[in-house]
Structure formats: structure tokens, C-alpha cells
Amino acid sequence: MRNVTEETLTDAVLETISKDADPRFREIMSGLIKHLHAFALETNMTKEEWLGAIEFLYQTGKKTTRNRNEFILLSDTLGLSSMVDMISSRGDDDATAVSVLGPFYIENAPFIKNGGDLIADNAGQQTLVKGCVSSTDGTPIPNALLDVWQNAENGKYSNEDPDQDDNNLRARLNAADDGSYSFSTIRPTPYTVPEDGPAGVMLDAMGRHPWRPAHIHFKISADGYQDLITEIYPDDDEYIDADAVFGVRDSLAVSFKQTTSEDTVAQHGLNTPFLTVEYDFRLRPV
Amino acid sequence: MRNVTEETLTDAVLETISKDADPRFREIMSGLIKHLHAFALETNMTKEEWLGAIEFLYQTGKKTTRNRNEFILLSDTLGLSSMVDMISSRGDDDATAVSVLGPFYIENAPFIKNGGDLIADNAGQQTLVKGCVSSTDGTPIPNALLDVWQNAENGKYSNEDPDQDDNNLRARLNAADDGSYSFSTIRPTPYTVPEDGPAGVMLDAMGRHPWRPAHIHFKISADGYQDLITEIYPDDDEYIDADAVFGVRDSLAVSFKQTTSEDTVAQHGLNTPFLTVEYDFRLRPV
């Protein structure tokens, strides 16, 4: 090993991995080592640049807490999270596309009834979201569990805004026996990913903006099906084609239609005019 | 951008980097994005594995302090640090090979006179280190500054061992007008890199040992020359061909020769038998 050169170092490192190591771990670490080394070689990385990267990771670690993960934000803004989402969505074009989970999910949101309300005292454009949860073959899935969360009119999620109740604009509901679901909410708003840490410095140095188009998050689960984590986006959002975390898919961009039906208004107790979104989810069988 | 696929996502991310960004930063970030994405694609990275990597980085950040940088240890044990060292050493085979700085360097070590002593009350095999500091063309460099540090017989550096004085086995000295230098010390000992953090978990999962061969660290500087950061290793060390951080080079493995010359013993006040190491350093002009 003492005769290693630029040309032989990568193999020398790879050879240290034991033949008895877990085969999948071996595969992943081998890929990581090859790409790390090739990255340094192709860019002719200097020692100063390496030190800069080490300092950047130090700062990223310091900024990260259990409630604010700067490593996830780096993965999101570099497109890695979306790449992993796409890899995990392979092979079934009939299933709803997955999108990023994001850092604002909280487990155990309160239950509301199907058809219930998330608006409470939130300002914003009142919106009815409705559709059906089915299998990839179109069979409705009875009682699928929808976990829904989104931001408020000021662009903030409840867990980053002390002025909101903890569960504001978060709920779980069960679809009906025929897979149908609906709930009323407000139209979500575009917002910036957190810019006050290393990821913000990186975006700024790349000359990139930090905006995400507005979206509603869904985590949908049902016995016998894979969990679906995704987002739906108003297709007329200013940032629909410029998402800072690359989460938008054509099939997830939907119309928030202005609606004036007096019947629907009365049924859901909404003000008029309001918006209607229709979206059907299709889950993959396990 | 909403039509991105596995095949087009990488280019979509690359295109977000502004044409006005610093060209070198653009080059480095482009390389990083390409390799991150290719790594995920080639390994078919799952969402669970991605989450595992995020948790590993979280733990690495939590373990890292200004005195214990786990990110550097990961870079060292994955061979990245040595790759960067080799890249920065290109193009001048007459210069002394560089090696890893490591995490135990402390600035402003106390000065000793050329020919002075680092042994003080340390147990261990007494060793005389001597040689010459010259330019790559062989011209001696008068008064070059040598910054020297190493571990004690128990394998620990002063800054990881409360039982050692802060400056134990650390010193700075100036070479003579003819470039010659010498100092007495003890033979350093092999030791394990810190195993109580994520890097230790990673090494264990790869079935790798954490040992480094014994070495003496040098940081040598002189006006008109590039700083040289390197290590010299006893060539009969048990781990000379199995360094956990890949720092050994053939040209840095040296003989620690048993010596019985009564004259030298008297001159340096050493016990007999002692060891002698002769090593000449060659610095690159700036």
C-alpha cells in the first residue's frame, strides 16, 4: 500500500473492505469511494478547497437539529432527494408519482372526519380538495389513511411559526368505503427554503433562488399498499417550473379551479367564490 | 422542469447554476452534483438507505467539535484526504511527498534550539532525528522552520491525554544556515484512529481495522517555498502497509536504526542503545 499513486489509491481503498462485509453495504461504500475519488481527481481539488468543504460540513452539522436538518436541505437543493424518489418510483407508471417528504412533517396529526375542515381561522383562499384513493389497477381502496399538511398564508408551517397552533393545517382522515375523500383548506403559498444556514450560502453562491412553488403534502397509507409520500402543486404557481428542490412532476401539477356552485358552498360551509382541486391517488400494492 | 425524469434531472439541476457564478465554484458544484446523482443511480439507492445516510451525517455533525473533527476522519479513512494530498503534490517528483495533517496539530508549539530535546521525561526508545532541509534542486535552505509533533509511548497525543503536558512531544526549531537540523525524541507508536463515533461504526461495518503505523509529523516552512506537511514512518512498523488513513508513501518510510556510537550518545546526552533516523526534506519553490 505504500506504493500507492493517484492511479492506484482508489483500488487500494476498495481492497480494504472485507469480503465478509454485508454485500449491499460493500456495494454502497464502493460506489461512494469511487465517486469521492473521481470527484477530487476530475476537479483537481486543492487542499484549500478540501478544507473549505470540511468547514462547510462542520457548519452544516452545527446548524442541524432534530427539527431542522440542514443535510436534508442540501440533499433536496442538490436534487439528490428527488433522484432517490424517482429511483424508488420505478416500474409502475400507473402509481401516483412520489415527491419529497420535506422537513415539516409531524407524526400523529389530529383526525378529522372525511369531508372535514382544516381552515379553522386561517386567512387565505378557501379550497375544497377531493378525489379518490385507488390501487394502480383502478380498484378503490376503502378507508385509506390520508395524512395532510401544508403551510399558512404567511408561507410558514406550524412547526416553524410560534403564532400558529401546533396542528394548524395538519390532519389525518380516512377515505370512505368507495375510496373517496375530501377536505376543505386554504390555497397554500410559495415560500423559501431556510436561507440562514450553509445551504443558503451555497444557493447564493450558485446564483440560485430559494423558492418552492406552493403545495399540499400527502402521506397516504393502506393495508396491502406501499406508503405514498407526495405533494400536489397549483399548476399556475409562479415557481411551478423553478422549484428549488426539484419536487414538481407534471402529473402532480393540478388546477385550483375557481368555483361558484352554491350547492357545494352550502354543503361545506365555504365562502364563495372558492377553489376546487380534484386529485385521484393511485397506490402500489406491496 | 416539471417533466424531469431520472435521465434529465441531473442536467436540470446543473442548469440552475447561474452563468454569473464564480467559474471555479461552478466547476466544483457541477462535479459534485454529477457524482452524487450517478452514485444514487448506480447503486439504485433506496429511500431507507438515503435516510440512513442522512442519519449518519447527523451523528457525524453531533460528534464533531473544533478539537475532534469526525468529517476529517471520514475523509481520511475513505482515502479522500490522501487523494487530495497526491493531487497537490503533482508535477515535482524531487519534492518530499506530502502526507495527511491529521487532527492533532496545534499551532504555536514552543521553540527548542536546533539539536534540542523533546524527550523530557517520556518513556520510550530514545531516537535522534537528523537531516537537511533543501530546495528541490538540492540547495540547502538556511533556517527553515520545522514544526514537529508525535504521540507518546501510550499511543496518545498530548491533546487527547489529560496526563500529558499540553506541549509534550511538540516543538518548533529552526534548521542551521546549511539547512541541517536534528532533535532527540522517542520512537512514536502505532495507534488507532478514534473509534467511538460514526467513522468507527463505518470501519467496523466494512470489516476494517482502525490502526495507523507510528509516525512523526512535520510541517516545514521557509520564505520562498511552499509549506510541506508530511509524516515519516518507521519502515518496520506492523501497520506500514495497512495504514487506516492511507498516508504512507514509500519515500516516507524510513529506517529507525539502532545506534551505539558513544560520541553521538555523549553529544546528545542520550542513553545507549538508541535509534537514529536520517531524513532530508526537499521543499518546492513557490
pLDDT tens-digit readout, B234-253: 999 999 999 999 999 999 99
Q: Do B35 and A32 touch (CB under 8 A)?
A: no
Tell me which residues of chain A, numbers 243 to 272, contact chain B at a CB-CB cutoff of 8 Å: 243, 246, 248-250, 252-253
Q: Are residue A18 and residue A139 in the same domain, yes or no? A: no
* pLDDT mean over B185-194: 96
Task: Kindly state whether A51 is in contact with chain B, defined as any CB-CB distance less than 8 angstroms.
Answer: no
Q: Do B40 and A6 touch (CB under 8 A)?
A: no
Select the residue from A6, A11, A15, A16 to test the B interface by mutation, using most B Cβ atoms within 10 A: A16
pLDDT band at B68 (very low <50, low <70, confident <90, very high): confident
Q: Are residue A14 and residue A123 in the same domain, yes or no? A: no
* A71 located within any domain: no
Nearest Cα of chain A lies from the Cα of B108 at a distance, in angstroms, of 20
* pLDDT one-digit tens code per residue, B29-52: 999 999 999 999 999 999 999 999
Q: Decide if pLDDT at B269 tops 90.
A: no
Residues 6+ apart with CB under 8 A from B48: none
Nearest Cα of chain A lies from the Cα of B45 at a distance, in angstroms, of 6
Q: Are residue A101 and residue A36 in the same domain, yes or no? A: no
* pLDDT one-digit tens code per residue, B105-135: 989 999 999 999 999 999 999 999 999 999 9
SS3 A143: coil
Q: Do A4 and B249 touch (CB under 8 A)?
A: yes
Q: Decide if pLDDT at A258 tops 80.
A: yes
Q: Are residue B111 and residue B228 in the same domain, yes or no? A: yes
Q: Are residue B166 and residue B244 in the same domain, yes or no? A: yes
* A187 located within any domain: yes
Q: Decide if pLDDT at A271 tops 90.
A: no
* pLDDT one-digit tens code per residue, A55-105: 999 999 999 998 789 999 999 999 999 999 999 888 878 999 999 888 889
Q: How far is CA B216 from the centre of its chain?
A: 10
| CB nearest A80 (choices: B28, B40, B242) | B40
CB distance B76 to B245 below 8 Å:
yes
* pLDDT one-digit tens code per residue, A104-157: 898 999 999 999 999 999 999 999 999 999 999 999 999 999 999 999 999 999
* A53 located within any domain: no
* B69 located within any domain: no
pLDDT band at A2 (very low <50, low <70, confident <90, very high): confident
Q: Are residue B139 and residue B268 in the same domain, yes or no? A: yes
Q: Residue B189 maps to which CATH number?
A: 2.60.130.10
Partnered with residue A191 across adjacent β-strands are A212
| CB nearest A241 (choices: B1, B54, B80) | B1
| CB nearest A41 (choices: B83, B206, B240) | B83
Q: Which residues of A touch B208 (CB under 8 A)?
A: 16-18
| CB nearest A9 (choices: B27, B240, B246) | B246
* pLDDT one-digit tens code per residue, A10-65: 999 999 999 999 999 999 999 999 999 999 999 999 999 999 999 999 999 999 99
Nearest Cα of chain A lies from the Cα of B246 at a distance, in angstroms, of 8
* A13 located within any domain: yes
Q: What pLDDT does A40 receive? A: 98
ipTM of the predicted structure?
Answer: 0.91
Q: What backbone torsions phi and psi does residue A187 show, to the nearest 5 degrees?
A: -65, 125
Q: Are residue B184 and residue B86 in the same domain, yes or no? A: yes
Nearest Cα of chain A lies from the Cα of B6 at a distance, in angstroms, of 6
Task: Kindly state whether A64 is in contact with chain B, defined as any CB-CB distance less than 8 angstroms.
Answer: yes
Percent of chain B clearing pLDDT 90 (strictly above): 86
Q: Which residues of B touch A22 (CB under 8 A)?
A: 205
- The boundaries of the domain holding residue B209 are 81-283
CB distance B70 to B64 below 8 Å:
yes
Residues 6+ apart with CB under 8 A from B89: B95, B97, B98
Q: Are residue A37 and residue A174 in the same domain, yes or no? A: no
Q: Decide if pLDDT at A263 tops 70.
A: no
Q: What pLDDT does A90 receive? A: 87
| CB nearest A61 (choices: B61, B80, B202) | B61
* A76 located within any domain: no
Q: Decide if pLDDT at A262 tops 80.
A: no
Percent of chain A clearing pLDDT 70 (strictly above): 97
Percent of chain B clearing pLDDT 70 (strictly above): 97
Task: Kindly state whether A52 is in contact with chain B, defined as any CB-CB distance less than 8 angstroms.
Answer: no
Task: Kindly state whether A8 is in contact with chain B, defined as any CB-CB distance less than 8 angstroms.
Answer: no
pLDDT band at B93 (very low <50, low <70, confident <90, very high): confident
Q: Do A86 and B5 touch (CB under 8 A)?
A: yes
Tell me which residues of chain A, numbers 183 to 212, contact chain B at a CB-CB cutoff of 8 Å: 202, 205-208
Q: Are residue B102 and residue B235 in the same domain, yes or no? A: yes
Q: Decide if pLDDT at B271 tops 80.
A: no
Q: Do A242 and B1 touch (CB under 8 A)?
A: yes
Q: Are residue B134 and residue B20 in the same domain, yes or no? A: no
* B74 located within any domain: no
Please count the structural domains in chain A. Answer: 2
* B170 located within any domain: yes
Q: Do B64 and A64 touch (CB under 8 A)?
A: no
* pLDDT one-digit tens code per residue, A174-217: 999 999 999 999 999 999 999 999 999 999 999 999 999 999 99
Q: Are residue B16 and residue B145 in the same domain, yes or no? A: no
Tell me which residues of chain A, numbers 151 to 180, contact chain B at a CB-CB cutoff of 8 Å: none
Nearest Cα of chain A lies from the Cα of B21 at a distance, in angstroms, of 5
Select the residue from B20, B26, B35 to test the A interface by mutation, using most A Cβ atoms within 10 A: B35
Q: Which residues of A touch B27 (CB under 8 A)?
A: 43
Q: Do B250 and A32 touch (CB under 8 A)?
A: no
Select the residue from A20, A29, A35 to test the B interface by mutation, using most B Cβ atoms within 10 A: A35
| CB nearest B208 (choices: A16, A83, A248) | A16
Q: Are residue A173 and residue A220 in the same domain, yes or no? A: yes
